[in-house]
Amino acid sequence: MDEEVVKKYIEAGRIARIVRDEAAKLIEPGRSVLEVCTYVENRIRELGAAPAFPCNISINEIAAHYSPVVGDETSIPEGAVVKLDIGVHVDGYIADTAVTVTLDEKWAQLLEAVEDALARAIELVKPGVKFAEVGRAIEAAIKNKGFKPITNLGGHSLARYTIHAGESIPNAYDALVRGKFSSGKAYAIEPFGTNGAGLVYEGELVTIYALVRSSLRRRLDPRTKRILEAVKERFKTLPFNERWLTDVEEDVEVLRRSLRKLARMGYLVQYPVLIERNHGMVAQFEHTIVITDNGEVIVTTK
């Protein structure tokens, strides 16, 4: 990881921090989720970067992967717990960050537990530290306040144009997790906490896709082929949303059918909305960490 790459991570982190903090102030009862996400994505571009994935706004028991679709009329309800998860990239180098806003103070302690878990995790990070030890710290901090970590969600390594780069950082202690933090790498640390079961399941709704295979030799109709070519050119392997392709295909139903078809054929991966198993309330906080070649730990989104 040379100096220029570190600078790009830091710049992505700087922009992510600005946009996250601005957008968090927009979260209020009755506000359109489409309005908030449009603001986030446009503001990232305005500041000279690009979204690394569609803005996620996940409300209450929805833990992750809800991004508004074209014409989405969802609004933020009274008393909601709202997760705002955003990604920024500069030349493919990603800063991934999240914050939770509660509109009912009875959930303040849940947020405190998860935010404290993130802070404790970051304090531990240095080259050679086991991922499992960070999971232990996250689990202890969340349980200390009477909540549960969501154990089938966790942090992840980052690479250029790749959100999930192959390594996973657990949100609870797992002796079978053998990975360690290494110099020259970037990681997203993202504890989730809940008053529910501590597990999520995949819902039926899919609003986010990503390219996984671009070289399959299968016959496509001209409109679907045009959509696939736009995905490859614009997003590479980064996640995207149908809202970002309406200039390629104006007919939204055709666009949606084409995306589902490309997923069935193996070109795209789908990211279903993730829901807490017992429909418990969910909070999330996240920062991106870069460990330079000399072992310096930089938190890019504080």
- For the annotated binding site for substrate, the residues are 65, 164
Verify whether residue 21 is a known catalytic residue: no
Of 190, 242, 249, 276, which is the active-site residue? 190
157 bridge partner residues: 187
Verify whether residue 167 is a known catalytic residue: no
Task: Name the burial class of residue 271, with classes exposed (0-12), middle (13-18) and buried (19+) by CB atoms within 10 angstroms of its CB.
Answer: buried
Q: Quick one: tokens of 144?
A: 């200390």
Q: Please, are residues 189 and 125 in contact by the beta-carbon 8 Å criterion?
A: yes
Residue type (1 letter), 247: D
Q: Please, are residues 179 and 188 in contact by the beta-carbon 8 Å criterion?
A: no
Q: Which residues are annotated as a binding site?
A: 65, 85, 96, 156, 164, 190, 286
Verify whether residue 287 is a known catalytic residue: no
Region at 5 (left for phi over 0; alpha for psi -120 to 50; beta for the rest) = alpha
Of 85, 139, 167, 249, which is the active-site residue? 85
Of 96, 115, 167, 249, which is the active-site residue? 96
Nearest Cα to Cα of residue 138 among 199, 191, 59: 191
Q: Which residues are annotated as a binding site for a divalent metal cation?
A: 85, 96, 156, 190, 286
Q: What are phi and psi of 251, to 5 degrees?
A: -80, 105
Verify whether residue 89 is a known catalytic residue: no
Verify whether residue 2 is a known catalytic residue: no
Instruction: State how far Cα 267 lies from the chain centre.
Output: 21
Verify whether residue 156 is a known catalytic residue: yes
Of 11, 89, 115, 156, which is the active-site residue? 156
* Residues tagged active-site: 85, 96, 156, 164, 190, 286
